[in-house]
Amino acid sequence: MTDILLMVFAAIAILGAAATAIQKNPYDKLISLGMLFAGVIPFVVAGGYLDVAISLALIVPITTIILLQAVWRCRL
């Protein structure tokens, strides 16, 4: 059962990565990056590394917030 679930998450992560590469608007890129992260974290949890999952869940949003200060300078 978990194998089928992980295939679904792999599909979500690949879709998110492709959308991050393709889209033009920088905010859309950040939203797709959030989708990529949502697809990746169940792999960390299925491996049993809950501490890694907690630290990732805190580091990734902070990285996004710092990246927003760079996106702020882009012209839409």
Partner 1 sequence: MIVESICAIVALYASIRILAEKNTLRKLPFLNVLNFAITGLIALILPHPMGIAAAAAYFVGSTLESNAIASTFAKQSEVADD
Assess contact for 58 and 20: CB atoms under 8 A. Answer: no
Q: How many residues does the chain have?
A: 76
Q: Which single residue is written with the structure tokens 């608007």? A: 25
Q: How far is the CB of 65 from partner 1 (least distance, A)?
A: 5
Question: Which of 45, 39, 16 minimizes the C-alpha distance to 29?
Answer: 16
Q: Say whether residue 2 binds partner 1 (CB under 8 A).
A: yes
Binding site residues, partner 1, CB under 8 A = 1-2, 4-5, 8-9, 11-12, 15-16, 19, 25, 27-28, 30-32, 34-35, 37-39, 41-42, 45-46, 48, 50-51, 53-54, 57-58, 60-61, 64-65, 68, 71-72, 76
